[in-house]
Structure 1
Amino acid sequence: MAHLDIHAKAEVGKSLAGFTLGEKLQSFLHFIDKTVDGNIEEWTVDLALDNTGVLLFEIPNNNGYIIYFSEPKLELGFTEKGTLCDISAGAGYKGDIFEGNIKIGSHIGDIDHALVLDDAEDIHYLADNEGKFIEGIYFVAGGLEVEEDPESIIEEVSVYNYNLIE
């Protein structure tokens, strides 16, 4: 059964907040306070922002599911077959999100690893020696290159494995 742990360390491409990628939606149902059928009620930004508990949003046309936790701020993305493939954490999550005691609220420049900015989405990925994205984790911290604004605060982290999408 899925177990929330706000102090659990993030593992690139594997786990975050005590949840492990690949887990099935059924193991999360005990958390749910409210369900919204996306075929009936359209998704809006307010749906997540106004949530005060744990909300399950069924993406229209059987395209997957998203679970929104209000405290801590967590989003769990599931495939249409109910496989957890993306975990995002923000305010209220206390675990290390990268080596060196990096947490939500740390400066992006404190990450001791090469980063590359996807400026289309304003997210920072780990980069290899050639500057290519390393899959499995990204950070939301402003929209500038690390060199331009190393003091930018990490607001969110996402651990993912899109190979789990069937």
Structure 2
Amino acid sequence: MGKQGGILGPVVRIVVLTAIYLMVLTSIDPADILVGVLLATALVLAGRNVGIIRTRSQTPLPRRLAGVPALIGGTLIDLVTGTWKTARWLIRREVAKSDLVEVPIPPHGGPQSAAAWGVRVGFVPDTVVVEIDEEKGRMLLHVIDATDPDAVVAEQLDTYRRRQRRVFP
């Protein structure tokens, strides 16, 4: 199963990708299944030539998995508070200084960590990820209330450290 040239890995990928395709279409029509299998096969074959950067984490897998509930719960809390801030801003027509804020990406995180952080931050409606620049080591965010950019940076780094770092070191 762990062999480099094994057939099980690609077949599982094709099945999973086809299933996702069919769920998005909400269809089990034979023609849709055929198109899904063909698209999934093309993706799997094309993906064989793409190099994946694998970083070996020093954190053991059980410890990383133990952090998943905090990551999900923390993201839900961020989602609720961000939605509340956005709704309050829309209803009251509060004057807020929306602007771009640069948040440094911690050097110990790899590309997967930065991408996961961007996705997590993108869920929150008062913050939009504009760019993740790994070369410069920064994430550019557009926030509704950027009156204190240092506070935005501190809050983002704090939520990264408390909620995400354990799962995506």
Taking structure 1 as the reference length, what is the TM-score of the superposition? 0.26
Structure with bigger helix share is 2
Structure with bigger strand share is 1
Larger radius of gyration: 2
Taking structure 2 as the reference length, what is the TM-score of the superposition? 0.26
